[in-house]
Structure formats: structure tokens, C-alpha cells
Structure 1
Amino acid sequence: MASQQGNMPFIKNLASSDRKIRTSALASLQSFLSARQVASALGPLDVLKLWKGLFFAMWMCDRAIPQQNLCAELADLIFILPRDAVVPWLRGFWTTMSREWTGIDVLRMEKFLLLVRRTVGAGFRWMKEGSKKGKSTWDTGRVSDILSLLSEFPFTLDVDARQEKRPEGEEGELTPHAVPVGLKLHVLDIWVDEAEKVGLLDEGDDEASKILQQISDLVDNLEKSTSSPALRNRSKESLADDRLPGNKSRPTAMEDAEMADAEQKDSGSWDGFDD
């Protein structure tokens, strides 16, 4: 499989600003990954090599529109992969992001932030089994897979324990020594947005409510266990989001001042002479 990857110039062409070249390159990549005999044969090292190439393509991609399109296209690759290849593919993505994150310069960071956002959103959409009689349902197995990946990477709890549990051989290659704090902070910033887009915040969907609670529990555990003040504060902020069930809208500072002023006026008002 490794020899095949050396013959995939279409990965580099994904960075092209020429729409025809990029579209052709994407079609070639989709055909390559959608072939069950190929996708099922991809080992951990093969996945990492592919993601290293895709990371490079994203790195070289210029201009806002091509960058936005490439982010969406790479995130949506999970929808053309065979079912059993999705989790290894996403694990390869998170491993690559974890390894490369601190080396991304400030001029390129914005497009990688978008790539992470699109991938988180695609993972949430992938959890949906489909539509039955007009009602979206959630695939229990897919939900479990995505939540496991979140707990393994952006919401991972104990770095030291993670290092001790790294498996031997190729599987260990898909488990980085640590997930950068910056990557974790970004996922904490966006997860509620992406959950809302896919319907996890919809009232009346009991399954969605259960899934949302499980994600909230991961964030809550991170907030309680992390030694990073930044992660602790950001976790609290995301769980306090007004859109999450149980969170009432908090009055702004101006509203607080207006309420206090009104109370003061009421307490000092004149009710007239007593009879």
C-alpha cells in the first residue's frame, strides 16, 4: 500500500487554485478511498502518510474560497469511506493535527482552524443513521465511535496515562504523545456550534439530548481533571453556553445596571401621605 501512495500526485493538486485541477484531484482521491479493497487495506502508517500529504495540500492552498472548499471536501471524505475505515481515518486526522499543530504559523492557522471545525461537524453528521419517515435517527455505533475519538483526542483527560497506554507497533503511531492545548481550546470553542447545526440541540429529540449530555460530560470531566487554567476556563465557558439545555440567558452588564437602578428607584419612591 505504501508504494501506491507514492504514485498519488493528485494529493498535491488538491492545493491548486485552479478549480478544474482541484476538482479532478478530489475525484481521484475519492475514487481511491471509496474502493473497499483499498480502504480496508490501509494500515495505520498508510493513513498517517495520506494525512501527511493532505496536511501539506492544506498548507499550500492559497486564497479564501479554495481553502474553504478544501476544508469541506477533506472533512466530507468520511462519507465515501467504507464504514470500517472511518474511525482509523479520523484517528489519523486527529493524530496528524496533534503532531503538526504547534508548527503551524500564524498566517496559516486560520485555515487549519476551519479544517478542524469542518471535521468535527462532519463527524457529528456522520452519527446520523439516516431518515426514517421524515425523522432523522442516530446510529448508536457511530455515536460511540465519534465520542470515543473526542475523548481520545481533544477532550482527553490525562496525558501521562495516555503515554503509558500507547500500544506497540503501527497502532501506537496513531496515538500521539500529547494533544496540544491550542487544539483542545479550539474544539471547546466550536463544539456547541457544530452540535447545533446537526440538530443535537433540538428540543423533543430524546436521542439527541442523550448524545449531547454525553458530550457535555466529556467536557465537564476535562474541566474537573485538567491542570491547565486555560482549558478549565474554556470548558466552563462552553458548558455555560446559553444554547445548551438548562442554561438560562444571563443578563448583560448593562442589563444588570438597569435592573439595579430600577430597584433603587422603586425603593426610594414616594407613595403619598398616609391616611
Structure 2
Amino acid sequence: MASQERSMPFIKNLASSDRKIRTSALASLHTFLSSRQISSSLTTLDILKLWKGLFFALWMCDRAIPQQTLCAELANLINVLPRHAVVPWLRGFWATMAREWTSIDVLRMEKFLLLVRRVVASGFEWMKQGGEGKKKKSGKETAWDMQRVDNILDLLNEWPFSLEDEARVEQGTEKEELVPQTIPVGLRLHVLDIWVDEAEKVGLLEADDVEASKILQRLIDQVDALEQATTRPAVRIRSKDSLGDERLPGNRKPAVEEDQTTTDSGDGGDWDGFED
């Protein structure tokens, strides 16, 4: 694909520790992806190849601050894309993470854990954008776009929360080599570790938001189904642990009342000693 090949030079520059070079590369990538003509013509294979390039841009990125910045920038690309292109783009991300996960060495794993967290967070935040604002009793404005909610939850159900261990691969196509055969346990465990954190940050745990409560329950149901269906002991245990998070409805502990039975040593009572 000619357009994809032209994009590779600035994708490589995203790994640069030079802020000016990285900023220029990001601007070029934004221009490339925001073009409706280009985004509409991107095939699944094109997206997988682009994500492969972005994966290795982060792979080659050194130093903590540039790594953190690049993770945030890659996660926020969904806000640059036209709406219709977001789901294919995120599907390409999950396929790339699943394919490459077991090849990531210990020294590089932390930045990819962060990338997954940032993408999950951006996906949850994207569910709010585009909806019509509604006033809650607290006076805050909420806006959940239910079509976007369906899109994000379906993607989670297709990849990290999938009830099947094997990914969906179209046999006999060029993209077969870019789509993983299985969904790694480590990737599943990480998403199970972080989903409640990111749901809380985006407001899904707010009890006075009826729509948010319904969305949260759908997520809980997905994780519960995964716990029941998985054949992987580690996934089952981690699913159960995440469902037991005390921030989730039904798990919240009541405030501990002060013990009123503590003996008051100054109550003026007399002690007559031990009986014979």
C-alpha cells in the first residue's frame, strides 16, 4: 500500500528522544489518520501493518518520559480518527498486542503494560464523547454514547475478555500472519488488573449515574462470564479477584463503627479484688 509505506518514516521518528522530531512525527501521523479519504481506504491488513510499525516505535523508544508520552499519544489516536474508523483501528491494536505479547522481554514489558492501560482508558473515555449531555442530580454533565459503548465492550469481549482462547483468524489470507492464533494469558491478566481502575476514572462507578451503572454491570457480566468459561486457572483467579474489588457495587464495605464496648477506665467503679 503506497500511503502506508509513506507513513513509515514518521512512524520511526516517533521513537526519537528528541521532542521536536517526535512532535513533528506525531503531527504527520495525525494528518495521515484524520484524512477521511485515507482512513476510509485503510484495509484490515493496512491497519495491522501500521500497528506493527507503531509497536516497534515504542519498542525502540528509550527513557521513561518519552515512553510515557508516546503511550499516551498512541492511545489518543482514536480521537484523531473519523468515528467509523475507530473500531477497526482498535481491533488492529488488540490483534497486534496479542501477536507480540509473548515476545516482549522483561526490560520492555513495563512500557507495553502502560500502553494497554492507556488504550483501555482512551476507549472508556471515547464512550462518553459524542453523546448528548444530561444533567445528573449532582449537577455534573454526563454523556454516554450507547453505540460507542457497544463498540468498546464488543472489542473487549472479542479480545481480552474473550471466552475462547483462540483469536479469530481468516485462513488463507495475507493478514493471517499478522493475526495471532491465541490470546495470551498475560494480556488477559493485565486487563483484568486495570479495568476497574480505568472504569472508576471515567465515572463508571458513580452510583448516581444510571447509564454508567448499566454499562458497569455489562462489564461485570463479561468478566463473570470469563471466570465461568476459562480453562486457565490464572485467568479464573484474576477474574474473581477483579469482581471482588471493593469499589464495585455490592462489594463496598460499610463504614466501621467505633467500638462502644471499650471499657472506660475512668468510670469511677470500685474493684473489690478477687473472691476467695
- Shared fold (TM-score, shorter chain, > 0.5): yes
User: Which residue, out of 236, 249, 260, partners 2:253?
Assistant: 249
Give the partner amino acid of 1:3.
A
Matched, 1:156 2:162: yes
| Letter of the structure 2 residue corresponding to residue 184 of structure 1 | R
Q: Is the 8 A contact 1:201 1:208 kept in 2?
A: yes
Query: Which deviations, in whole Å up to 9, do the C-alpha atoms of 1:227-250 show, x marking residues without a partner?
Result: 111101100000000111110339
1:225-244 residue pairs with structure 2 within 5 A?
Answer: 225-244=229-248
Native 8 Å contact 1:92 1:174 kept in 2: no
Question: Unaligned 5+ residue runs, structure 1?
Answer: 263-270
What is the CA distance between 1:175 and its match in structure 2? 5.1
Query: 2:149 maps to what in 1?
Result: 143
TM-score (norm 1): 0.86
- 1:66 is aligned to 66
RMSD: 2.4
* 1:124-273 alignment runs, 5 A limit: 124-128=124-128, 129-130=130-131, 132=133, 135-159=141-165, 162=167, 166-168=169-171, 169=173, 176-249=180-253
Report the equivalent of 2:111.
Answer: 111
Distance 1:141 1:173 in 2: 31
How far residue 176 of structure 1 moved from its aligned partner, in angstroms, is 2.9
Match of 2:265 in 1: none
* Higher relative helix content: 1
Amino acid at match of 1:39: S
Q: Does 1:7 align with 2:6?
A: yes
Code of the residue aligned with 1:17 in structure 2: it is S
1:44 and 1:173 in contact (8 A); partners too: no
Alpha-carbon contact 2:132-2:144 (below 8 Å) kept: no
Partners in 2 of 1:153 and 1:69 — Cα distance? 25
Q: Show the counterpart of 1:31.
A: 31
String of CA shifts for 1:71-123, please: whole Å, max 9, x gaps: 00000000110111000000000000000000000000000000000000000
TM superposition score normalised by structure 2: 0.86
Matches of 1:208 and 1:185, distance apart in 2: 24
Measured in 1, the distance between the counterparts of 2:213 and 2:177 equals 35
Deviation at 1:55, TM superposition (A): 0.3
Unaligned runs of 5+ in 2: 135-139, 263-270
Separation in structure 2 between the aligned mates of residue 130 and residue 18 of structure 1, nearest angstrom: 38
